[in-house]
A and B are shown apart, each in its own frame.
Chain A
C-alpha cells in the first residue's frame, strides 16, 4: 500500500501508511454488508443451510429469478416510478420557486418563511400519521384519478405527501445556493426588461443546474426508498412501490435470507444507476464556481 502516483517519488511516511490503512478499513467496513448481501444472493438456501454462511459454494442465480417472479418486481418498479418521477419534479419546481423568492426579494417575512420550511424539515413524519391518515380517508378523488375514489390508497396522495415532506430541505439548499449567485446578473436582467418570471426561469434556473441535479439525485433516492407512507397510506397490495413489495419475499413462518438478499440487490440497483448517471452533474456542481473566478 504505497503511494506511487503523480510521478514524483515521495518517501513513504508512517503517517501515510496509517492513513491508508484507516481509509482501507473504513471502505471495507462500508462495503462489507453490501458485498455480503450480493454474495449471499448468488447462493442456494440448501447449501447455506447445510454449511452455514461462512463457506463458499452453492452458486446459483435462481434467487434472482424467483425474487423477480414472486415479488412481481416488474409491476412494482413501475409503481415506484409513478410516485418518484412526478414527486421529484414537483418538489424541485415548487422548492425552487420558494427559494427564488426568499433569495431574491427582501421583505419582512423572508427569514420567517425560510425558518418555517427548515423547521418543518425537522418535524418527525410519524407524528403526523394519524391526522394525515384521517384527512386522506375523507378527501375524495374522482374515479378516473384513482379507483379508491379517495386520496387514501392513491398515487396522488403519496406524491403529495412526499412533495410536502421533501420541500423543506430543497428550499433550504436552493435558497442558499441562489443567494450566492452574483447580484449583478439580476441588475443586468432588469435593465434588459426581464420580468420576474423570466429572471426565475431563464436566469436563475440554468445557473442552479448543478444544485438541482445534486438535489434530484438525493430526492430520487429518498422518495424511491420511502417505505413508511407507502405502507400506511396504501391499501391495495398491487399498488405498493417496490420497497414495500420486498416484504412479499418474507414467508409467514419461513424467510429465505438468500432470496431476500437477491430482492434487496434488485431494489438497490435503480438508486445506483441514478447516482452514476447524475454523478457528473453532481461533481460539476462542486467545482462550477471555482473555475469562473
Chain B
C-alpha cells in the first residue's frame, strides 16, 4: 500500500474501516501506534512496504559527515559534477562529523540515505557483516586507478566490496626542515638511530618528540606504528579484530619499546591537545611529531613549506618499515537504497578520476585515493605523502577504525593513558585490557 502524496489523497482515504474493508489487525496496529494521538492512527497499519515505489531515478540522497566548511564545499562541488554528467540530482544531508559518527548505528538501522560517507577498515566490515550496507562489487568492476591496498581496505569479511575510497591521509613523523638543517640532524632509519637522535636533541635543548594525549586518540597512532613495525601488519589487524591475545609477549614487546621511547616524548602529555603539541613543533621547541597529515592545519605560509616528514623508522629488519596508518574516508551504500541504480551510478562517479580531480582542485589539504587523478596541484608535502602511501605494502586504518568502536573508546583510551601515566606495570595493564576485550568481543 503506497502512501498518499497530498492532503486530499490522504483525506480521501479516511473512510470508515467497515466500508474500506480494512482488516481488524491493521486497525488495531493503527490504534496502538502513538500516531493515534495525532489523529493519523488509522494510517498506521498500512505501512510496512518500502517507502517510495522508487521508479524515479532522478534523485539520490547522500548522508555526509563532511561538516567542516572546506570539505562541505568540496562535496557540493563533486555532486554538481555528478549532476552534469548524469542528470541525477543529489540531496545532500550534512550532519556534523561527531554526531554522525556517534549515531551511525541508529542511522543505519533507521532510514539511512542512499549513499553515505564512512571509513574503511573494521568499521566498514562491522556494518557490512551485519547486513547494513549494500554490496558494491558491481561498482568496483567499473572502477580503476586503485591500488590493491585500497581494494583490500574496501573489502568485507565475505570477500565482496562495500566501500568506495575517496580520500586519505598518512601518519608519519613530521619535522621542520630549517631546524634539522641548522642542527645537522639526519632522518633516522632504525630505532637505534631514533634513540641517538633523540638524545642529541635533548642535549640541544629541544623536546625530541612532541606528544599530546588529552583527547585519548593521538597515542593510538604511536601504538599502531610500533605494533606495525615490531609485529607486522597481519598481527596488528588480528589483534584489533580480537583474534590475538593482548597478554602475548608480542604485545608486551610493543609496550616495552614504547616505554623505552617515552623519556624522549614531551612530558605531561595527558594535559595537552594535539594542537598544542603541534604548536610546540611550529615554535621550534620540539624536534619532531608523529601525527597525521592534518598536523599542517596548525601551520601556515612559510611555516607550512618548512614542514617535512619521514615514515617511522624500522624496528625489526625482518618486518621492515613499509606498513603505515593511513585512514581512508569514502562512501558506502545503504542496504535498501530508494533506487539502487542511481545509488550505484553515484558511487561509480565518486570513485572516478573526474570526482577526484574536482576534489584536488578545490581542497589542497586532502590526498585523493584514485591514482589516476591529476595531482599537478598537490603541494610538495602532499606529493611526498602520496608517494609514501603508494609505496606502502599494507595500510592500516588507525586503531579506532580498525577495531570495535566501543573497545577503542572505553578500553584502549583509558589503557593508553594509564600506560603513559605509569609505564611500569605493563603486564597488569595488558591483563586488564585482555579481560575487557574478551567481554566486549563476545557480547
Contact = CB atoms under 8 A, between A and B. Distances in A.
Given A135-B34, A139-B44, A237 B93 contact: yes
Contacts of B113: 235
B19 interface: no
Interface string A38-74: 0000000000010000000000000000000010000
Interface stretch (B3-11, B76-84, B191-199): B3-11
A133 B109 CA distance: 10
B371 interface: no
B82 to A, nearest CB: 20
Contacts of B275: 49, 254
Contact of A150 (B5, B67, B68, B111): B111
Given A231-B103, A247-B98, A156 B93 contact: no
B84 to A, nearest CB: 24
Interface stretch (B35-43, B231-239, B420-428): B35-43
Contacts of B102: 231
A197 interface: no
Interface in B18-41: 33-35, 37-38, 40
Contact of B43 (A138, A140, A156, A252): A140
Contacts of A248: 67, 96
Contacts of A138: 33, 47-48
B406 to A, nearest CB: 16
A187 interface: no
Q: Report, as a range, how many residues of chain A touch the other chain.
A: 35 or more
B279 interface: yes
A254 B297 contact: yes
A244 B111 contact: no
Residue among A149, A160, A237 with most chain B CB within 10 A? A237
B110 A149 contact: no
A250 B3 contact: no
B57 interface: no
Interface of B: 3-7, 10, 33-35, 37-38, 40, 43-44, 46-48, 51, 63, 67-69, 71, 93-99, 102-103, 106-107, 109-113, 274-275, 279, 292, 294, 297-298
What are the nearest 5 A-B pairs in CB distance?
Answer: A140-B47, A237-B95, A247-B96, A142-B10, A253-B294
30 contacts: A137-B110, A138-B33, A138-B47, A140-B46, A140-B47, A141-B40, A142-B7, A142-B40, A142-B43, A144-B10, A145-B40, A150-B51, A150-B111, A160-B34, A160-B37, A160-B38, A231-B99, A232-B103, A235-B93, A235-B107, A235-B110, A235-B113, A237-B96, A245-B96, A247-B96, A247-B98, A248-B96, A251-B68, A251-B97, A252-B71
Interface of A: 49, 70, 133, 135, 137-145, 148-153, 156, 160, 231-232, 235-238, 240, 244-245, 247-248, 250-254
Given A235-B93, A244-B99, A254-B298, 17 more contacts: A49-B275, A70-B69, A135-B33, A139-B44, A140-B3, A140-B43, A141-B35, A142-B40, A144-B6, A144-B7, A160-B34, A160-B38, A236-B95, A237-B94, A238-B93, A250-B98, A254-B275
